[in-house]
Structure 1
Amino acid sequence: MHYHDSLLDQHLSSAAAIRPDGSRRALRVGLGGPVGSGKTASVAELCRAFRDRYSLAVVTNDIYTREDAEFLLREAVLPAERITAVETGACPHTAIRDDISANLEAIEHLEETLPPLDLVLVESGGDNLTATFSKGLVDVQIFVIDVSSGDDIPRKGGPGITTADLLIINKTDLAPHVGADLDTMAADAEKQRGDLPVIFTSLTADAGIREVADWVTAQLAEWHAKAAV
């Protein structure tokens, strides 16, 4: 059996909170969404919110570059050894949903070389409304859209909008400038998602990431409780 295959077998179900050696595995949170929606900025703000509270790391995905990882490194949101990049070389769907082995290797390396991790953020390369993460790669997934793409985006649906554990509607500060109706977006998102949560954000505000950070903190609490059973 190839290394990729054995690694994939270990992670086919991301529900297991305990690693094969008996240690607790980090919670893996995927962030996907269209190009320019604010995924990398959201990751940066989550790192700033959590870096003094939890042991965390980041895996970014770009097609041919390490641009997102380099942005996080320039912003010094985490020490360099806690940020790694996957160059997918193809459609971002492939690396987060179809052939997830490169991302699994990156996560495994972080967990083996760093002190016990509480959280790994996995950022997808920019894609469209159909992008979703494999359940074998992440435990929960966040989908990020923004108001500048049009207030009809939630109404258009797609797996990212309808099934993600959390939908972020970002850049609310731009709504008056682009003619976006936030109430319409909220109503359409509720129709598409039912009881699944939606958070409106403006990362230019001082507390712009707070609600998202609170949501992730709740997921971490559930994860730690699960590992303790």
Structure 2
Amino acid sequence: MLEHEDHPNPHPHGRALRLGICGPVGTGKSSLIALLCRELAGRLELAVITNDIYTDEDARFLRAAGVLDADRIRAVETGACPHTAIRDDITANLLVVEELEDEYGDLDVVLLESGGDNLTATFSPALVDAQVFVLDVAGGGDVARKGGPGIERADLLVVNKTDLAPYVGVDVARMLADARAARGGGPVIGLSRTDRASIDELLAWISGVLATHRAGMLMPVDPGPMARHLHAHEHAHNH
């Protein structure tokens, strides 16, 4: 389904699909990328870029896991809030993306991982073609209801580590329903490394995005500024 031969010209734009993975600290972004690399490396040409403030820890984790050749995994040390380097000033990331594309001209997908950030983190559409926002059940079943541009308007929302739900007191079905409501019915996947069906659902989503990109029909959408929100202490005033 994802092999090169399925499309006569897998690189119609002269570059790979650029897929962003972002979300709060500890939601499993690096593990998700490792999973994707293990599943897809035999069928697609992949590269990975990680973002951390003052370290290359995520890149070292992926290299140690042996999911790709070490040189295909590059690290960007942002020196500031990771949100800055994926949205406000994307220069450092864009240079590494273009460097990888020059060195590996047959790349199908470049995966870009944000450093752990808050619920407002999103990628610039000038950097990625599509973006995945990652939550996890250990963060609490109510997190999906809190909204924000990543939760509400990323191309895909992944609720990760669903197998941990019994241990943290989370109703997965309710959390997924809340997520779909927050996204107006946009795609949501409940993911567990122990659930093959959920992995296949994620791979099918990526396959569809890649096919759309190869057809020249993928239009990056900016999730936009922080979503409108209200505070419990706010009151209407009449003047």
The interval holding the TM-score normalised by the smaller chain is 0.7 to 0.9
1:103 aligns with 2:68: no
Distance 2:13 2:180 in 1: 38
Residues 143-174 of structure 1: CA distance to partner in whole angstroms, max 9, x if unpaired?
Answer: 00000110000011111100110000011111
Of 115, 118, 121, which aligns to 2:111?
121
Distance 2:124 2:148 in 1: 16
User: What is the match of residue 200 of structure 1?
Assistant: 190
The alignment covers a number of residue pairs equal to: 208
Alignment of 1:118-157 (within 5 A): 118-157=108-147
Shift in Å, 1:114: 1.3
Which amino acid letter does the alignment assign opposite residue 223 of structure 1? Answer: H
Distance 1:163 1:205 in 2: 26
Shift in Å, 1:182: 1.2
8 A contact 1:58–1:121 mirrored in 2: yes
Of 11, 15, 33, which aligns to 1:25?
15
Alignment of 1:40-189 (within 5 A): 40-189=30-179
User: What is the match of residue 205 of structure 2?
Assistant: 215
Shift in Å, 1:99: 0.4
Shift in Å, 1:115: 3.1
8 A contact 2:13–2:216 mirrored in 1: no
Shift in Å, 1:206: 5.0
Matched residue of 1:121: which SS? strand
User: What is the match of residue 227 of structure 2?
Assistant: none
Shift in Å, 1:205: 4.0
Which amino acid letter does the alignment assign opposite residue 138 of structure 1? Answer: V
Structure 2, gaps ≥5 residues long: 1-9, 218-239
Distance 1:207 1:182 in 2: 15
Structure 1, gaps ≥5 residues long: 1-17
Shift in Å, 1:210: 2.3
Matched residue of 2:75: which SS? strand
Distance 2:196 2:141 in 1: 24
CA RMSD of aligned residues (A): 1.7
Matched residue of 1:90: which SS? coil
Residues 160-211 of structure 1: CA distance to partner in whole angstroms, max 9, x if unpaired?
Answer: 1001100000111111111101122122112110131000011244565322
Distance 1:113 1:207 in 2: 35
More displaced, 199-208 or 40-49?
199-208
More displaced, 188-197 or 22-31?
22-31
8 A contact 1:141–1:166 mirrored in 2: yes
8 A contact 1:34–1:144 mirrored in 2: yes
Which amino acid letter does the alignment assign opposite residue 199 of structure 1? Answer: I
Which amino acid letter does the alignment assign opposite residue 182 of structure 1? Answer: V
1:191 aligns with 2:191: no
Shift in Å, 1:224: 1.0
8 A contact 2:189–2:198 mirrored in 1: no
Matched residue of 1:226: which SS? coil
Distance 2:22 2:60 in 1: 18
Q: Which has the larger radius of gyration?
A: 2
